[in-house]
Structure 1
């Protein structure tokens, strides 16, 4: 068994999620506090502040949970199969089905960069799940920010696009189909 790590801590996704779930309620609270001169009832202001504090706490917990799930990614080769795990998306690719594995630069492959999301997560700097290329080919994507990706072409119903730390090593391993991978 061999595990290929994927470094995924999507800073841009964290910033976007924080801005929406934390920044927006803070702006609403600031506007309410600015208009508090027109509201003489101190109890109303205290209730508003308490409600917003709860809202912020819940939103922060949800963002942390979502990012924890989104960053639990790995690729494992064992039993003649490549096991892909990205957040809540899981897929298996038999090593016999791998036709080609090439390291590509996403800037040179607009068909891969502009793949449409079918069932997945697309955040700034992070993509995982099922996508579809312009020619209709299904694509299982597991990548964080990074331009160098491993494009695995298969003879089954889909291809794979991976943003691993060592794309050359994984590509060689997939094409070699070693005995220890078929335990």
Structure 2
């Protein structure tokens, strides 16, 4: 009878370890999120959703600073695949205006909205949103 319980516990333990690993990766990503503006595009780094968004896909001319407390239409409505912890949202979300968006948000009041030509937008919260926008326009602007 004891061995039956042991075999039942193995999958439970494996699932718990997997969930804890994903949670640890997300928490680490929240603290390690970086946005690197390069000549070839915008590199998003942090957790599982990091990528390079190529320069031709970025609509730098429409990029702007946003306060999600005031701009309801740009608030995340539903998570497709991603992390949603207090003070940190990363991954693919659907916004209230219906747009698909890739988020790296730690501060909803100091976010930057960047549309793309690839059918989604970016919502990121760099430490200095105004400096980030200025650098984005000078490096990647038309």
5+ unaligned residues in a row in structure 1: which ranges?
1-57
Q: Which residue of 2 aligns with 1:101?
A: 63
Cα distance in 1 for partners of 2:107, 2:140 equals: 30
Closer/same/farther in 2, CA of residues 114 and 143 from structure 1, 3 Å limit: closer
Matched, 1:163 2:122: no
Q: Which residue of 2 aligns with 1:175?
A: 137
Cα distance per residue 1:146-176 (max 9 Å; x no partner): 4111111222221100111011111122222
Work out which of the two has the higher radius of gyration on C-alpha atoms and give 1 or 2.
1
Output the aligned Cα RMSD. 2.6
- Structure 1 segment 134-145 matched on structure 2, within 5 A: 134-145=96-107
Bigger proportion of residues as helix: 1
Maintained 8 Å contact 1:98/1:174: no
Q: Which has the higher contact order (CA 8 A, sep 6+)?
A: 1
Per the TM alignment, residue 70 of structure 1 is displaced from its structure 2 partner at its CA by 4.0
SS of equivalent to 1:141: strand
Q: How many residues are treated as equivalent by the alignment?
A: 121
Q: Which residue of 2 aligns with 1:131?
A: 93
Among 36, 48, 65, which residue is 2:24 paired with? 65
After TM superposition, the score normalised by the length of structure 1 is 0.57
Cα distance per residue 1:124-153 (max 9 Å; x no partner): 111001111234321010011341111112
- Structure 1 segment 1-12 matched on structure 2, within 5 A: none
